Structure 1
């Protein structure tokens, strides 16, 4: 990864920041990120040096979000802090503990409305309203304000607001009139405690004007309404995706505090905080010029392997001071409240739902687009007692019916697409994209032996042949007026060819694919005009020269690069080309790439997908991959409890291809069957393929159904 290409405001960074931090850490603890004009601090000790030195690294800045607390330095900050958290002030530990009964009542009140449900979405149905109602009550504000508050806080922590002051200001101006009114109502009520205690404090009366009070209220509402819901969700995700951990906590609720602390370390709700460097300063051998913006990555510092042994592992009994609530004079005043809220929320949910568990039908957990906050967007939980298994034959018929109904008149099993980071298109959710042979061919591969789908298969083969281009090649979708045109590629060509060849079609394209294998074994993804191709297939080479203008914008927009190569694509190619002297270096390179686990920048960005491609290549005769089996089995064992339904299918299929029918296989089988017995079970779309910027994903519920049919072909009711 090149640092000059990194942009921390992107969707890709927000979805997989730990990968980027681990890569950056190899190159030091301070990095200038040119695209964001900031110095990013990733080391634990370096972060403490910055956070503890307010004279050099000031919280004040040109665009102050809150001049009272966040963007204020000692000694003023120290005085302001005492009003809020000193002695017996509203946010002091003493006062917060006295508030615990109110917090419990709020939690139980929300849960009472969920008890008749079979499932609920944690963020919308519990965590967000819970935190809003707690902070509103603590400040003495009307509980009815929680919906408006939720909308603003979600926007305030998005990358769009964090990296664009104009956007942040526009969003703030929408809430400001309401906040003024809320403060006015609080003043008029003259009720003791809460916001009035802060407003009518002698120091406040003397030193704070109306804007100061508004800004102070703003930061208290944001902190109370954003950090805690994310912490609650992350704790539940960690707890429910680990059966051993869940049993430990159930047996000993005293361990909830340790669960919260370790979740705070590994999933810090606040990921980045910022300072301004007041003079030229050398930080860990890097010169930080005066007035530079410094971004301290709490998320990276908490994962520093020089401080936390086995930093990537979730360990309840871990020592060491985490930085999740900051360090030094700006240690978060709401830390005690956030921990207490989370503890009460977790205990209340565990007390109310004896069989609470993750819904695995779809992606287990999703995060919003934010570089500075680990904001959970969705976490669905099942809360009714697990139903008895449904007959396997019934689920199989459901899968068969889905695939039959989806096939179009021209034989296509459509590809669906989604745009998770683009709100204008996101509303459409998953929808059919333009005709593509890629997902379609993968479906055919899995249903080729399903006797009830032979007509579908034959018709589907016809669609693949319709999409074939010069030289027996294929591409993701045909060239059109759209902006994301792509060249012919080895991935689509290989999977389409594999399906056809297994059904006795003769193709003449293997030399073309061999041409894309470089001397060191790298397989280039895109088939582009070059000397080797000209000597092999001059007509195809000439055609590709003429086509260059159609996908120039795709290269310009970083949708693709002519030199793209990646492990999962290479595995599909060798599945078709098989193991031979011509593919030996490519297979060796695949083994090296797997050992390095570098898939984060790839079009296939899912560990189970890559494992599945390795296993499929092995099944197709690439026996050299067998040496990876022990490592792969270990990876599946380590991760299977965190997998959604489609990923579990891929894990089990991989074990099946490798002929590993062990206890792990049986555990996954049991989990798969339990999911199919959940109320309203259906086959969901799965993010099989994604763009590099992660703004686009492609897949199909038919692909999920096809994997299910292939996996269960030998299972009995």
Structure 2
């Protein structure tokens, strides 16, 4: 067993400087045992090859029934929203993903391109004079508008939809009551929307998921509800932070920004930004189905495992000069996961980020930070790498 110090995932050091903290963890061992604030044990995997292998390892289950520990950090979802892809293993996962994929097609995502572009232009039109907080003005509202369009959320309900989502994604300290209220309201809204679309389908993802069938199989009502909720969260938050982190990466590297502006370097599907500052620090928690060994560490059956996507994407044994931001490289990053649980919404996140960044730089080629980089504030989270604000001028 590793005798290296136990990392505190919930402490200031790892949250304030995750790249530095994870670099030290990679040096000292492939797997580290730590605990959540409520005392539950967790095994943290940090190196690229181990993370990639763990993401595809059938001995690591996403089904919570295989956990030997409990605690509030085990899952953020209430029971009625549990029937989704990130809580399932094959064969249930295989069936559900096959059905959902029928609705979440490349054609449907590509069909959103003009609407993503139009919404981006509307948001940029609202930029009057600097400075502007790019997170509030572009990175947050664009994915929310797109995901509402994709799911078929009526225009008159989108304000409430966004308020509920913001409450659930960034709850204030000691705001459990507000989160529960938002969850109940979101649940009630989704149930009503699915019922309405079952009677009067439209050209949107929810209607397509209701119609998705394979022989005599279809999505159950709990599966529809849970998948709509998952698509909302996975489709919204990841895209928000990918846009923010990608723009920041370019602003911190003016020579690369110049190369993008004059056409020498394409945006390259924002892959390097996803690698360099991965929005989701940790992949979905997993549970060992049997005792398994990674490096010199044995994880017991039922043990909860977290894999650090952010750490893997800065591993110097896999990436040359991993701390350098280089949009010309085409890295095999793990920002969208790997294996059967690879992010179904990755094409949509790429489309939103590419459109937002390209249009922003076309409009404002002199864009730059309006505050020193060391004054930027990050969301205090061990789970994601997200800016609170991104003040810019031009």
Which TM-score band (shorter chain)?
0.7 to 0.9
Cα separation, partners in 2 of 1:15 and 1:185, compared to 1, 3 Å: farther
Give the 3 Å change call, closer, same or farther, for CA 307–165 of structure 1 in structure 2: farther
2:71 matched residue in structure 1:
none
Structure 2 match to 1:406: none
1:520-567 Cα shifts (integer Å, max 9, x gaps): xxxxxxxxxxxxxxxxxxxxxxxxxxxxxxxxxxxxxxxxxxxxxxxx
> Which of these residues, 132, 137, 147, is aligned with residue 135 of structure 1?
147
C-alpha distance in 2 between matches for 1:105 and 1:294: 42
TM-score calculated relative to the size of structure 2 = 0.86
CA contact (8 A) 1:154 1:226 kept: no
Structure 1 residues 409-464: Cα deviation after superposition (integer angstroms, max 9, x where no partner): xxxxxxxxxxxxxxxxxxxxxxxxxxxxxxxxxxxxxxxxxxxxxxxxxxxxxxxx
Q: Please name the residue that 1:47 is paired with.
A: 51
- What SS does the aligned partner of 2:377 have? strand
* TM-aligned CA distance change 1:381 to 1:49, over 3 Å: same
Deviations 1:391-414 (A, max 9, x none): xxxxxxxxxxxxxxxxxxxxxxxx
CA distance in 2, matches of 1:100, 1:220: 18
Indicate the residue corresponding to 1:83 in structure 2: 99
Aligned partner (choices 70, 73, 78) of residue 86 of structure 2: 70
Shift of 1:83: 2.5
Matched, 1:352 2:363: yes
User: In the alignment, is the contact (CA less than 8 A) between 1:119 and 1:380 conserved in 2?
Assistant: yes
Rounded to whole Å, the distance in 2 between the matches of 1:21 and 1:300 is: 6
Q: Does 1:293 align with 2:294?
A: no
Alpha carbons 2:272, 2:329 under 8 Å: kept: yes
Q: 1:5 to 1:47 in 2, by over 3 A?
A: closer
Select which of 76, 92, 103 maps to 2:105: 92
The answer as to whether partners of 2:47 and 2:312 remain within 8 angstroms in 1 is: yes
Q: Is 2:282 the counterpart of 1:266?
A: no
Contact 2:171 2:179 in 1 (8 A): no
Q: TM-score, normalised by structure 1?
A: 0.49
Paired residue secondary structure (2:19): helix
Partner Cα distance (1:173, 1:204) in 2:
34
Tell me: CA distance 1:336–1:363, structure 2 relative to 1, closer, same or farther (3 Å). same
Shift of 1:3: 5.9
Partner in structure 2 of residue 594 of structure 1: none
User: What per-residue deviation string (whole Å, max 9, x for no partner) do you get for residues 209-263 of structure 1?
Assistant: 33221111000000111001101111111111222111100011751016x1111
TM-aligned CA distance change 1:78 to 1:176, over 3 Å: same
Contact 2:279 2:386 in 1 (8 A): yes
Q: Structure 1 residues 369 and 280 mapped into 2: Cα distance closer, same or farther (>3 Å)?
A: same
> Do the aligned residues in 1 keep the contact of 2:124 with 2:138 (CA within 8 Å)?
yes
Cα separation, 2, equivalents of 1:129 and 1:145: 15
In the TM superposition, what is the alpha-carbon distance from 1:11 to its structure 2 partner? 4.5
Q: Distance in 2 between matches of 1:251 and 1:128?
A: 27
Structure-2 residue corresponding to 1:539: none
Counterpart in the other structure of 1:15: 16
1:111-510 to 2 correspondences below 5 Å: 111-114=124-127, 116-157=128-169, 172-203=183-214, 206-252=217-263, 255-257=266-268, 260-273=270-283, 274-360=285-371, 364-383=375-394
**Partner SS state of residue 38, structure 1:** strand
How far apart, CA to CA, are the structure 2 residues paired with 1:288 and 1:370? 25
1:170 offset after TM fit, Å? 6.6
Listed one character per residue, the Cα deviations across residues 66-107 of structure 1 (whole Å, up to 9, x for unaligned) are 43211111232223222333xxx3422233122211110111
Distance 2:236 2:92 in 1: 26
Q: Distance in 2 between matches of 1:11 and 1:344?
A: 34
Distance verdict in 2 for CA 1:299–1:90, change over 3 Å? same
2:272 and 2:350 map into 1 onto residues whose CA distance is 12
Higher relative contact order (CA 8 A, sep 6+): 2
The question of whether the paired residues in 1 share the 8 Å contact of 2:234 and 2:345 is answered with: yes
Task: Look at both structures and tell me which one has the larger radius of gyration over its CA atoms.
Answer: 1
Distance of 1:28 and 1:5 partners within structure 2: 11
Secondary structure at the residue paired with 2:140?
helix
| 1:355 to partner: Cα distance | 2.2
State the Cα distance separating 1:118 from its structure 2 match. 2.2
Query: Which whole-Å CA distance do the structure 2 matches of 1:150 and 1:376 have between them?
Result: 18
Provide the residue aligned with 2:70 in structure 1.
none
The verdict on how the C-alpha distance between 1:33 and 1:280 changes in structure 2, with shifts beyond 3 A counting, is same
- Summarize the Cα distance change of 1:28–1:17 in structure 2 as closer, same or farther, 3 Å threshold: same
Q: Residue 238 of structure 1 aligns to a residue in which SS?
A: helix
Two-structure CA RMSD over aligned residues (Å): 2.8
| Structure 2 counterpart SS, 1:182 | helix
In structure 2, what is the Cα distance between the partners aligned to 1:368 and 1:233? 12
Distance 2:19 2:141 in 1: 29
Match for residue 69 of structure 2? none
d(CA) in 2 for partners of 1:67 and 1:154? Answer: 22
Report the Cα distance in structure 2 between the residues aligned to 1:282 and 1:166, rounded to whole angstroms: 41
- CA distance change for structure 1 residues 148 and 202 in 2, over 3 Å: closer, same or farther? same
* 1:154 CA drift (Å): 4.2
Q: What is the rounded CA distance, in whole Å, between the counterparts of 2:373 and 2:23 in structure 1? A: 28
In the aligned structure 2, how far is the partner of 1:118 from the partner of 1:377? 18
1-structure distance, mates of 2:292, 2:51: 14
Task: Say if 1:50 and 1:345 are closer, same or farther in 2 by CA, change over 3 A.
Answer: same
CA distance in 1, matches of 2:13, 2:209: 41
1:170 and 1:304 map into 2 onto residues whose CA distance is 41
What residue ranges of structure 2 are gaps of 5+ in the alignment? 66-73
Does the 8 Å CA contact 1:325/1:332 hold for their aligned counterparts?
A: yes
The 3-state SS of whatever aligns with 1:355 is coil
